[in-house]
């Protein structure tokens, strides 16, 4: 941040738009003049820290801007670790802008300015109120789009992930101390005992690191979701599968091959995880310029996907047990080379309602009918398994929560982690923890 944290900052802390309640927040080391100017000297003198007080918010001419609640937090017992004033008034955009302008005017002599995006959380981090993982969790909690993602972020905000990292650091320190003791005092016959203990401690440490990394990867999936591309020849049922997973008619389905010319993306909640499912144009040789553009976008989607579902028509699929690579797309034989090294490929045999095949997994393939829904539970379970979700039962939604709804993508198509990640990389999103730009 180019600005000093020794001057007050002011921001509307609630989301844009009209609402019953809106909050303007002020944080700084010396904000008493702002408190007295906005609330009046008499009421300011009677404010008790951390107590809600009915107040009239006054402009420079002592005219009432709004009537609401004032709460004063004294350092260090506040979110930012500084003195904080929260003014809770009516949530009209004009009223909140007037109140924000009044706070800036009252703090002009102190150098008060508008807070930059996420600066309240940044000050909390700089003042040791929260650590880096917790600062990240603030953004994740605000951006959470499923119950599971919200619960995961809440645990990180409470310090669970930080505690796991601290335990790893302690285990590593103990192993290092044992190694150094063995090297520094060889005459004490510690070598044989030390080597055995070090091996045991390193093995335990490796298991702990693996578990933390697994949890971190799962956290990234919860935050960003998985990109799932539906790929195959025309008329194998890609659009029908998207509609079946979404629970509504998202894509047009006809018997005419090549109906889908462009990629259609939909965010779907399955078992608490967000799947960004992409329906693509069928892969085939074509002289149609528009259809070819759609095929080019299909190949791009294959390269971007975390999971590629290769759909095959059951009436044209090879026999069970035959090699997976015998499933042809002769017109574009090298399309599978576009699949990223990190991505999984799942072969899905669709239209078993026509072929008479039994639903479910068999010989490395999944047999389904997007039309009747047969085998879709197996497909959902496989997608969760590929995401590592079957190893995290504590993260699942409770029994009464929805598990298969459909949501429109976030504005602009951005995901919760679009700003970059993560603690392991030493980066923070404390500077962007609310869509309003000011937030916490």
In this structure, are 275 and 386 located in the same domain? Answer: yes
Return the pLDDT at 374.
93
Instruction: Tell me what pLDDT residue 333 has.
Output: 63
Residues 262 and 212 in one domain: no
CATH of the domain at 281: 3.40.50.300
Dihedral sign for Cα 74, 76, 77, 80, please.
Answer: positive
pLDDT tops 70 at residue 1: no
pLDDT of residue 286: 67
CA distance 409 to 257: 27
> Which residue, 382, 409, 343, 388, is CA-closest to 152?
388
Q: Are residue 335 and residue 302 in the same domain, yes or no?
A: yes
Selection from 274, 276, 281 nearest residue 266 by Cα: 276
Same domain, 258 and 368: yes
Region 358-370: mean pLDDT is: 90
Given the structure tokens 């789009």, which residue do they identify? 145
pLDDT confidence of residue 53: 96
pLDDT, average across residues 98-109: 96
188 and 209 both lie in a single domain: yes
Note whether 238 and 379 are same-domain residues: yes
Confirm whether 135 is domain-assigned.
Answer: no
Inside any domain, residue 32: yes
Domain for residue 368, yes or no?
Answer: yes
For 110, the domain range is: 9-115
- Residue 50 sits in the same domain as residue 96: yes
If you ran DSSP here, which 8-state letter would residue 282 be given? P
Contact 56, 69 (CB under 8 A): no
Residue 437 lies in a domain: no
Backbone φ and ψ of 265, nearest 5°: -115, 135
Give the whole-angstrom CA distance, residue 177 versus residue 329. Answer: 59
CATH code where residue 61 lies: 3.30.1360.120
Residue % of the chain over a pLDDT of 70: 75
Confidence (pTM): 0.61
Check whether the bond before 76 is cis (ω within 30° of 0): yes
| Confidence bin at 26 (pLDDT 50/70/90) | very high
Residue 148 lies in a domain: no
Condensed to tens digits (0 to 9), the pLDDT of residues 181-238 reads 777 766 666 555 556 677 788 888 888 888 888 777 777 777 777 888 888 888 888 8
Domain contains 127: no
| pLDDT of 24 higher than 90 | yes
Higher pLDDT, 151 or 132: 132
More confident residue, 318 or 197: 197
Average pLDDT, the chain: 78
Structure confidence at residue 401 (pLDDT): 33
pLDDT tens digits, 404-414 = 333 333 333 33
CB contact set of 326 (below 8 Å; sequence gap of 6+): 318
- pLDDT at residue 273, rounded to an integer: 80
Domain count, the chain: 3
Asked whether residue 431 carries a pLDDT value surpassing 50, the answer given is no
**pLDDT tens string 130-144:** 988 888 888 888 877
């Amino acid at each position: 941040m180019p600005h000093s944290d020794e001057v007050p900052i002011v921001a509307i802390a609630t989301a844009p738009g009209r609402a019953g309640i809106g909050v303007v927040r002020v944080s700084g080391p010396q904000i008493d003049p702002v408190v007295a100017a906005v609330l009046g000297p008499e009421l300011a003198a009677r404010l008790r820290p951390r107590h809600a007080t009915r107040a009239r918010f006054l402009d420079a001419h002592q005219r009432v801007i709004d009537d609401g609640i004032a709460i004063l937090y004294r350092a260090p017992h506040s979110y930012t670790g500084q003195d904080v004033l929260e003014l809770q008034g009516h949530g009209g955009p004009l009223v909140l802008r007037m109140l924000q302008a009044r706070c800036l005017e009252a703090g002009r002599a102190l150098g008060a300015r508008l807070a930059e995006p996420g600066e309240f959380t940044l000050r909390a981090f700089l003042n040791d109120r929260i650590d880096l993982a917790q600062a990240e969790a603030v953004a994740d909690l605000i951006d959470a789009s499923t119950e599971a993602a919200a619960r995961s972020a809440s645990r990180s905000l409470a310090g669970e992930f930080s505690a796991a990292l601290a335990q790893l650091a302690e285990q590593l320190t103990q192993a290092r101390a044992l190694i150094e003791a063995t090297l520094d005092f060889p005459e004490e016959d510690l070598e044989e005992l030390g080597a055995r203990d070090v091996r045991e401690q390193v093995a335990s440490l490796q298991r702990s690191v693996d578990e933390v990394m697994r949890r971190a990867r799962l956290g990234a999936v919860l935050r960003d979701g998985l990109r799932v591309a539906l790929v195959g020849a025309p008329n194998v049922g890609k659009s029908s599968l998207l509609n079946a997973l979404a629970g509504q008619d998202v894509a047009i389905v006809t018997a005419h091959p090549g109906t889908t010319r462009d990629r259609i993306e939909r965010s779907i909640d399955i078992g608490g995880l967000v799947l960004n499912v992409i329906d693509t144009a069928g892969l085939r040789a074509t002289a149609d310029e528009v259809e070819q553009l759609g095929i080019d976008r299909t190949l791009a989607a294959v390269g971007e996907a975390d999971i590629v579902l290769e759909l095959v028509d059951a009436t044209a699929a090879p026999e069970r047990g035959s090699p997976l690579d015998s499933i042809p797309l002769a017109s574009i034989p090298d399309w599978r080379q576009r699949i990223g090294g990190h991505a999984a490929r799942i072969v899905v045999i669709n239209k078993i309602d026509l072929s008479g095949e039994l639903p479910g997994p068999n010989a490395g393939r999944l047999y389904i009918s997007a039309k009747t829904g047969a085998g879709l539970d197996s497909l959902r379970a496989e997608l969760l398994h590929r995401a590592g979700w079957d190893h995290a039962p504590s993260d699942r939604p409770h029994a009464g929560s929805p598990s298969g709804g459909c949501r429109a993508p976030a504005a602009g198509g951005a995901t919760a982690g679009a700003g970059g990640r993560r603690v392991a990389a030493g980066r923070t999103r404390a500077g962007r923890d609310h869509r309003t730009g000011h937030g916490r």
